[in-house]
Each structure stands twice: as C-alpha cells, then as structure tokens.
Amino acid sequence: MSIMSESQSLVSNAVVDEREAALLAPYAMFSRDSLGRRRPENPHPYRGPFQRDRDRILHSSAYRRLSGKMQVFTGEMGDYHRTRLTHTQEVATTARTIGRVLRLNEDLIEALALMHDIGHPPYGHCGEDALDEVMRPFGGFSHNRFALTIVEEMEYRYQRHPGLNLTAEVLAGQADRTEKNKSDRSSLLEVQLVDAADSTAYDAHDTDDAVKLGLVTLEQLQEVALIRQCVEQVREHYSDLSERFLSKAVVHHLVNLQVTDMIEHNVRELRERHFTSATDAMTSGFRIGPSPELADKKRELEGFLFQHVYRHPKLISVRQQAHDKIQTLWGIYVEDPSRLPKKYQLRAEQIGIQVMAAHYIAGMTDRFFEDTYRLMIHSR
Ligand code: MG
C-alpha cells in the first residue's frame, strides 16, 4: 500500500498528510498511500479520501434507512432498544476510541463502521436468512455483500455513473467482511478493529436491551462470568446503587471493560511486533481483538444471549412471521415484475428478477416493508 508514499499522492492533500504524519503509527493506513478510486477524482482541498468516503456514506439513503431497521428487537417492543442506526453509531464511537489510542486512521475507521451494516434487510438476521433461502439457486443473499452492491450500483449521487465511487480501501474492507470465515484473509488493522468493535457493541447493548425489555433479569445474567465480574467491580466502587442504576452501571462497565481490554491487549501486542507499514501489519497474520481471556468470557455471554434472548419466544414469533412475509413478497415480485417500481423493472431485465426482488426488499425499512406487504397482498 505504500507505492505512492515517495511521490505526490493522487487522492490526499498536504493538510491531511501532515496531520496523519504527526498522529498515526507506522502500521496505520495513511491517506496518501490509498490506491484511490475506480473513477479518479481530484484531491479535496481539506478533506482526506477516507473523510470523503465517510461523508458519502453518511449522506446516502441506505444509511438513513438504518434508523427504520431493527437490530435485534422490533419496534413493536417499544422505543428504548437499539436500531441498526444507533448500533452503527455505537460501533463507530467504540472503534474510534480504540483506534485513537492505537494510532490508527480514524477517518478510515469511521467510514468502515458507518458502512458495515447498510446492507441489512428489514427484520435483521431473520430477513437475511429468509432472502438467502429463496435466493439460494440464484447465488444466495448476504447483507455484507449487498452493502457493496448498494455503494457501487444502487446509490445515485452522480449523474455520470451509479455508486459512490469509494476508495479501494473502504471497498476492500467491506469485501473482507463477506469472507469472514476464511482464515487466510488479511485485512488492514482498521478493518479488523471495526469488526472487533462490532462485537464489543452488540455484546453490551443486547445485554442492556434484553434487561430493559424484561426478557432476562440481571440476576439471571450473573450466571455468566463476565457479567458477574462487572457486577462485582461496580459494587466495589458504588455500594449503594438501586437495582435500576446497578444494571445501567453494569452495562457501562461492560463496554468499558471490553474497550480497556482491547486497548491494553493490542497496545502490548503491537509494541512487540514493530510493524513498519500497513501492508506489513496486514500480511503478518496479526489479528486485532480481545485478549484470549476476554474472548472466552465473551463467548460465554454470547452463548447465554443466544439461548435466553435471541431465541426468546417473543422474538421467535416475530421472526417467523417476518420470515414468511419476506418470502411471500419476494414470490409476488418474481411472479409479476410489473409490481416493482419502474426503475427496478428496468434493472430486473439486466440482473434478473429474482436478484432484483431480493435487492428491492433488502433496501426496505421494517415499516416500509410492512406497508408494502399489506398493499401487495390486498391488491393481489
Ligand atoms: Mg453490526
């Protein structure tokens, strides 16, 4: 990634380059080393390439729609819990906090974090599973892959071409997410960090939401070593907390404990390795993540959440209904493409009606999906 570091960068500018030279560690991704964009653009006078990518994602319609998409819990359960938008913001802020201490590129981190979930269909992972099942003969459906389709083909910002024309690094970072289980993949440290921050955020906020919604009690959660540890440490500092403030403090501590662990563990590891460049770190096999001890405890917590929260009867029935409705609506469009909006009918001629129907549904918010489903069923 350092092929341009000796010469004038084609995508960055002096202000950004100077700032990054003063702040970033050698193993961070420097803007001036970016491989640039598919369609070359002149550097911006004061924003770096990753800042521009972040802003393009922030101003996209797919990003705004995250506010209408559920993370784990549906809008019918109230308005306290996280949406996919607030989850995304928690991931971004957690990743930036850690990234700043590790002296990584915060602009790149933020762009990757804001983008990481924009491909999610309505009704979270259940929506994804429903689409993946019907799409299996046509290549399947993955929210991570769909995020790339959105930023490359479906967002319209420029008259001359579709897509947001993002940098190679942001696109590659999202592409890495689609191959999560491939052990031989190598990613920039910023990409790895966003991945780890995603898990930090959902472990903490799903615990919080589940308690607040009454799906589990703090008492039950103390089966889990990590929660027991948080309760004990909170009580050491504040012995007189009421039940309500105890669970709030436990969740805050759960975030803080994970972030502190990630910082201490990775600062130590990175100090020992002396990486000389982003490429050096990326190809070394080193992974940013929690310490092995915390990783074990997180696994236990996630196992508990899976059993007692994600598979809670209240959620299972919502999911089953959503699953069936999504597949029904997909079937309606496939049977009769003229029911799609005009611009998507045209696109269906190029990419196939099955794929187009899945993409159209995947772009919907939970609410828009419900309204459309009702309309389509009644006018059938
Ligand atoms: Mg996420």
Predicted pLDDT at 182: 58
347 alpha carbon – ligand 1 mean position (Å): 29
- What is the average pLDDT across 251-255? 96
pLDDT in tens, 153-179: 999 989 999 999 999 999 999 999 887
326 alpha carbon – ligand 1 mean position (Å): 21
39 alpha carbon – ligand 1 mean position (Å): 29
87 alpha carbon – ligand 1 mean position (Å): 7
What's this model's pTM, rounded to 2 decimal places? Answer: 0.94
Name the residue among 135, 243, 252, 269 with its Cα closest to residue 189: 269
238 alpha carbon – ligand 1 mean position (Å): 32
116 alpha carbon – ligand 1 mean position (Å): 6
- What is the average pLDDT across 74-97? 91
Predicted pLDDT at 147: 97
Which range is most confident: 7-16, 183-192, 289-298? 289-298
pLDDT in tens, 301-335: 999 999 998 899 888 988 999 999 999 999 999 99
Q: Residue 70 forms beta bridges with which residues?
A: 83
Predicted pLDDT at 349: 95
The percent of residues above 70 in pLDDT, for the chain, comes to: 96
pLDDT in tens, 179-214: 765 555 689 999 999 999 999 999 999 999 999 999
Asked if pLDDT for residue 3 goes beyond 60, the answer is: no
11 alpha carbon – ligand 1 mean position (Å): 29
Comparing 184 with 89, which gets the higher pLDDT?
A: 89
Predicted pLDDT at 137: 97
Asked if pLDDT for residue 140 goes beyond 70, the answer is: yes
180 alpha carbon – ligand 1 mean position (Å): 13
